[in-house]
Chains A and B, each alone.
Chain A
Amino acid sequence: MLSLRVSLTATALACLIGLPLGALLAVARFRGRNALLVLVNALMGLPPVVVGLLVYLHLSRSGPLGFLGLLYTPTAMIVAQTILITPIVVALSRQVLDDLHAEYAEQFRSLCLGRGQAVFALIWDGRYSLMTVGLAGFGRAVAEVGAVIVVGGNIDHLTRVMTTAIALETSKGDLPLALGLGLILMTLALAVNAMVHGLRVTAVRYAHA
């Protein structure tokens, strides 16, 4: 299941990068913060093909990172999707953690917490709400076709994922197969969402109100 592997890895990476950044944006107050928030929010709508193109330019033989030989590999697809959804994770986690921070800010200041401690505490205490943020990122990653097809190339058994296969079968005219693949993809997404939701409900019951 290359689709799942690529998109889940990209989601994990995006959370690793995006959650601390989102929390930092929630905690920090500095000049230009609002401009940065607008920028990050705008980046949520980044067109997948454009991301694919940018990653392609870097990874192609003549590009600055061409020596890595990553173009048309699953790694390239993970990189592209990570870039695509990190802004989503940053922007949404910032919104979620803003509310939490508003509640905690005075207490944290009273305790003389450092910024790093505050960021980590916010992420930990907001972990159940942040699962939804991760899901939003995953949903975007698993559904997009533009970025993976540009940097992956839709090579059978190597870089072909569900969405690119659907695109291919549709253009070949094999609509029943394309539709079937589409159903499988949607079922997969549903299963992942259901799993996370179940996890969240159980965990919330045991952890806090």
Chain B
Amino acid sequence: MHEARIGTAMPVAARAPALMPLEVRGLAYEAGGAALVDGIDLTLTAGEITIVLGANGAGKSLLLRLLHGLIPASRGEMLWNGSPLDRMVRARQAMVFQKPVLLRRSVAANIDFVLAARGGRDAARRDALLHEVGLSDHAGQPARLLSGGEQQRLALARALATRPEVLFLDEPTASLDPASIVKIEQMVAAAHGVGTKIVFVTQDLGQARRLAGDVVFLSRGRVAEHSPAEEFFAEPASEAARDYISGRIVI
């Protein structure tokens, strides 16, 4: 059980071509007549952990939802290794939300639900996942009685249960304690280590430095900058990013 790993062995990938790279051209989302994100051009490749940074309202969460297909784009084109974002592609992705949405069931049942929905109850795998996130002792407890950090670890384990090839995380460690943050970062790094593409939204610059391979910086609904992490943190190209990193308040 201890050597059982999460996020490994992608049976889908064996048959279908890889999901990455992702090509986005002119992506926009409008609501109430205003463009909340607009003119998004982006190329994400396999391999790096992509960190999405930006002020509140810059469109980070919205971009993630568009890429994952939770909401339809108003304009633009998105190709996952040449394929449009259909159900088949979406099923090979998973997402962890800022506020974990757990079913009103036991911890174990939350994992079982996803495994069953994907065509296979697997008690051994469920136990391995719970062990990985350190929740083995809580398997029988109601999921909603867990602490915030435990809930988010369970949400991450549940996302990994689908063996996603792309994992979106929307500020998963906001308002968690340091121990939970470390645990979640370890799990994300482990998933990345076995080939899962990570797209991670955060407001925590320290976390961004720890994890980032490349950084997408959003400002007012547009991609202000997309560069390798060392470059971005050493010398941001855009003024908005310089202000953001230095903590200067810009209105």
**Chain A residues close to B by CB (< 8 Å):** 103-104, 106-107, 109-113, 117, 121, 124-125, 207-209
A103–B99 Cα distance when bound, in Å, is 11
- Provide the residues of chain A in CB contact with B93, threshold 8 Å: 110
Nearest A-chain residue to B99, judged by Cβ: A103
Provide the main secondary structure of the chain B interface: mixed
A80–B114 Cα distance when bound, in Å, is 40
- Provide the residues of chain A in CB contact with B95, threshold 8 Å: 110
In the complex, how many residue pairs between chain A and chain B have their CB atoms under 8 Å apart? 44
The answer to whether B142 and A121 touch across the interface, beta carbons within 8 angstroms, is no
- Provide the residues of chain B in CB contact with A111, threshold 8 Å: 94, 114, 117, 162
Could you write out 26 A-B pairs with CB less than 8 Å apart?
A: A103-B101, A104-B101, A104-B103, A106-B65, A106-B70, A106-B101, A107-B101, A110-B68, A110-B95, A111-B114, A111-B117, A111-B162, A112-B87, A112-B90, A113-B117, A117-B117, A124-B105, A125-B103, A125-B104, A207-B105, A207-B142, A208-B105, A208-B142, A208-B143, A208-B145, A209-B144
A112–B89 Cα distance when bound, in Å, is 10
A107–B104 Cα distance when bound, in Å, is 13
Closest Cβ of chain B: how far from A116's Cβ, in Å?
A: 11
Closest Cβ of chain B: how far from A122's Cβ, in Å?
A: 10
The answer to whether B142 and A209 touch across the interface, beta carbons within 8 angstroms, is yes
A199–B23 Cα distance when bound, in Å, is 54
Nearest B-chain residue to A112, judged by Cβ: B91
- Provide the residues of chain A in CB contact with B142, threshold 8 Å: 207-209
A109–B113 Cα distance when bound, in Å, is 14
Known: A111-B117, A208-B104. 5 other contacts (CB 8 A): A106-B97, A107-B97, A110-B93, A208-B144, A209-B142
